Amino acid sequence: MYKRLSAVMFPLTALLLLGALVWGYQENQEKNSILLKAENQYQRAFHDLSYHVERLHGELGNTLAVNSASSGTHRKGLVNVWRLTSEAQNEINQLPLTLLPFSKTEEFLSKISNFSYKAAVRDFTKKPLTDGELQNLKTLYTNSGEISKNLQDVQNKVISNRLRWMDVETALATENKSEDNTIIDGFKTVDKRVGEYPELDWGPSVASIYEKRSVKKLGGAPVTPEQIRSKAIKFADAGSNAKVDVRENGKGTEWESYTATVTGSNQKQLISMDFTKNGGLLISYHNNREVGPAKVSMKEAVIRAEQFLNKKGFPHMTAVSADQYDNMGNLTYVTKQGDVLIYPEKITVRVGLDTGEATGFEASDYVNQHKDKREIPKPKLSLAEARKLLNKDFKESYNRLAWIKNDDSTEVLTYEFGGAINGSKYRIYLNAEDGTEESVEQIRTSSGAQKK
């Protein structure tokens, strides 16, 4: 019996063992193929990064080599600088550097990219490169040369020592990061040196991109939780005996604030509000009630939301857009000074279309940008003169004066024209002084409040 059993089991076991060996070999081959492909991708991205940073250094040199009045060459050079920095940023993102501090170099390249783009797209006949911008280019030329040299040193070591990027990924993923790794050490050295570069004056258009909003920059003395409790009760129209929980957020950081939660009389309806710690200014409001089927029109919602803002201490607000999503209306309001809309002072209101009651709003832009009064000049261009600068195929539906922030983060007076062209709706903002196209926005949804 045992002989017969072994006669059957032995071939079967041998077959299974052989199958396991074949399967294991195939799995190992597939794994090695994947690792080889990943390694090749890492190596390509790294060598391309070194090449593009070297090209960046050369392109900055070419831009500086010509006469300071050569606006055409400057524009071409800056476009190439923007393209090369974008390529370098893309290649950094392809490398396994997630756990490796390389943020200073990435931010440095990002600032070069934004600086060169902002300068290249403007009209050099009206705004040529300033002495400060030319000095920036000289500094960037020197710095990019040093970064290029450091990356080439790492590249030479990678090639001569046949170093693998997969080892970098493994070293970064392990808990023990004290092991010596030439690539990791090289990138740390680059990032450390970049962090030691003095900060340049990039100009307002670039600086605004990296500007950190902080509630500490707002005026007003710090308020207490008890003061926030009183403000929350008043804003929520709750009784003095209402239950209010006040929580402090971001203590010791740039974002110190309070969150107040008011419980309704039914113990279910919750209203939450966020206040700045300095001055106790309301940033956001959210009524957590259940919204039923829509019964109120968007036109009525616009009126009800404006009444809500007036009642809550936000007067002189005008609706500039209104969009419906199922049973909710999302409305955008801006301050109106005289006949000019102040776009930096924006508040977004959410309305439940079952009753028309405002269920929430967000006012961080208004809180950070609000001024009691702005000095707004009179338009130098007439409406008729500005209208002549529009595309002849643009079908105008409305126009109004608007105070906006342009790409240089400078506040300017514009003519806002709403209309349609090529089957889509747009808002076009023309500078009221010289007719420059400051901004073009496509309106992607129907807007019930484009024209007031």
Q: Answer whether 86's CB lies under 8 Å from 175's CB.
A: no
Q: Residue 359: inside a domain, yes or no?
A: yes
349 shares its domain with 400: no
Of 267, 274, 271, nearest to 228 by C-alpha is 274
CATH number assigned to the domain comprising residue 436: 3.10.450
Query: Each residue of 155-178: pLDDT tens digit?
Result: 888 888 887 777 766 666 665 554
Lowest mean pLDDT, pick from 66-70, 360-364, 379-383 = 66-70
DSSP state of 223: -
Distance CA 28, CA 24 (A): 6
Residue numbers of the domain that contains 357? 225-369
Q: Do 322 and 259 share a structural domain?
A: yes
pLDDT of residue 332: 95
The confidence score (pLDDT) of residue 212 equals: 56
- Are 100 and 68 members of one domain? yes
Overall number of domains in the chain = 3
Q: What's the pLDDT tens digit per position in 293-308? A: 999 999 999 999 999 9
Q: Tell me the pLDDT tens digit for each residue of 421-443.
A: 999 999 999 999 999 899 999 88
pLDDT at 264: 65
Tokens of 341: 């809309």
17 vs 321, which has greater pLDDT? 321
Is residue 214 one of the residues assigned to a domain? no
CB 348 within 8 A of CB 331: yes
Q: Which of 88, 86, 96 lies closest to 49 in space, CA to CA?
A: 88
Instruction: For 296-345, give the DSSP string.
Output: S-HHHHHHHHHHHHHHTT--SEEEEEEEEETTEEEEEEEEEETTEEEEEE
Side chain identity, residue 5: L
Which of residues 176, 207, 238 is at a domain's end? 207
- DSSP letter assigned to residue 237: T
Q: Is the pLDDT of residue 448 over 50?
A: no
Indicate whether 235 belongs to any domain: yes
Band the pLDDT of 8: cuts 50, 70, 90: low
The stretch 221-243 carries a mean pLDDT of 86
Same domain, 362 and 400: no
**Co-location of 324 and 433 in the same domain:** no
Please give the pLDDT value at position 217.
52
Please state, rounded to an integer, the average pLDDT across all residues of the chain: 83
Q: Is 257 found in the same domain as 172?
A: no
Contact 444, 427 (CB under 8 A): no
Of the candidates 170, 168, 78, 60, the one whose C-alpha atom is nearest the C-alpha of residue 122 is 78
Read off the tokens for 136.
């920036």
Nearest to 423 by CA among 442, 448, 398: 442
The reply to whether 375 falls in a domain is: no
- pTM for the whole structure: 0.69
Same domain, 32 and 132: yes
Q: Are residues 394 and 364 in the same domain?
A: no
Residue 374 is assigned to a structural domain of this protein: no
